[in-house]
Structures are given as C-alpha cells and as structure tokens.
Amino acid sequence: MGSYEISPEQAVDSAIRVVKEGRVQGVKLEGGMEMAPTIERIVRAGIPVVGHVGLTPQRQNTLGGFRVQGKTTLGALKVLEDAMAVQEAGCFAVVLEAVPSEVAGIITKKLRIPTIGIGAGNGCSGQVLVQVDMSGNFPPGRFLPKFVKQYGDVWSESMRAISNYKTEVKSRAYPAPEHTYPMPEKELHEFDNLINSKPA
C-alpha cells in the first residue's frame, strides 16, 4: 500500500526498485480502469505486470469492506471492464478476487490473458490461496473468507512442537547427547585437570 497509487511515475520508480532490490521478475497491482495508465507505464519500462480486479484488499475500505464484487449486472460489468482495461494496458495475467463463479468464468472466456482466481470459482485459468490461510498457520478465531479451504493445521502443530520443546528443556531431556558435540575423553580429562590445578 502506498508504493504505486500516487502517480504513474511513483509506480514506475517503485516497480524498478522492487525488481532491482527484490530480484523479482514482475509486479502485481490492484485496480482496474483507473490503474490502466500506470500499468502501461510500468510495462513500457520492461516490467511484467499482473493485474488484480474484483475485491482489491488494499482498497477494501472504498468497497464497503471485504465484500464480493460483481453480484449485480452492473457490478459484473464493472469487473469485466476492469479486467479488459488491465489486459489492454499490458498485463500478462489478472487476479479475479471474490467474484461470483459464473462471472469469473465469463470474464475468463472474454480475455486473451490467463485469470487467477481467489474466491472466484473453478472457471478461472488458475487458482491462488494465501499460504498462511491454506496451511492453517494462524491462531484460533481468526476470520477466514468463505473461499478459503484449510488444508492443514500448521498453527496447532507448531504450538504442540513448542510445548514439547519447553517441556524437554525444563526437564533437561533436551539437548540429549545426540544433539551435542562430544569432546574426546582424554582431552576432557586434561582440561579438567588443568583448570582444577590452578589456584582460584
């Protein structure tokens, strides 16, 4: 947030910096028609861009919160127009987030570039989920969007591992001999004699 929204010039500068310092091969920008001029400038600078339309989390406050986009005829048309605009601006792919499955499927067929769905049904060209969400690496009670399927419970497993570690450290079961570096018996004996023979 704040690295590309002010002006196309700022966006190009930020994109170049991210490519150079972050050693990435492209950038992703949220926004539709209003971001098309910015996308064009970044692409002209030789940096590949992925678009992101529908629910745009960085702008969710202007959308009324984390809400599904494109549920009405006009809303669906807006998502399509945004997707077409970022395609024409030079994006090589576009993320469709929190869009009805049917709408995402139609948009995917209308575009020449691949769509990546997140909460947009299985009619997109590909799918993405946030790793923390899909792996269950968060504390109990955290809000999860409807589209998230949790494939694991990394948080609970991590808590179990930390608890076991704490127990073994307190009982001195860890570190065990196999987790330490041994010293040859002769060297240990010499070391012990050396330090114990010196006056305190």
The C-alpha atoms of residue 151 and residue 187 are separated, in whole angstroms, by 52
Which of 5, 81, 97, 190 is an active site residue?
A: 97
DSSP 42: H
Do residues 145 and 124 lie in contact, with contact meaning Cβ atoms separated by under 8 Å?
no
Indicate the residue type of 61. N
Task: Tell me phi and psi for residue 94, to 5 degrees.
Answer: -140, 135
Handedness of CA 43, 18, 69, 63 (dihedral sign): negative
3-state SS class at 29: strand
Residue 108 tokens read as 């995917």
Beta bridge mates, 51 = 29, 94
The C-alpha atoms of residue 52 and residue 32 are separated, in whole angstroms, by 7
3-state SS class at 140: coil
The C-alpha atoms of residue 97 and residue 110 are separated, in whole angstroms, by 17
The C-alpha atoms of residue 180 and residue 59 are separated, in whole angstroms, by 52
Give yes or no: 81 in active site: no
Active site members? 97
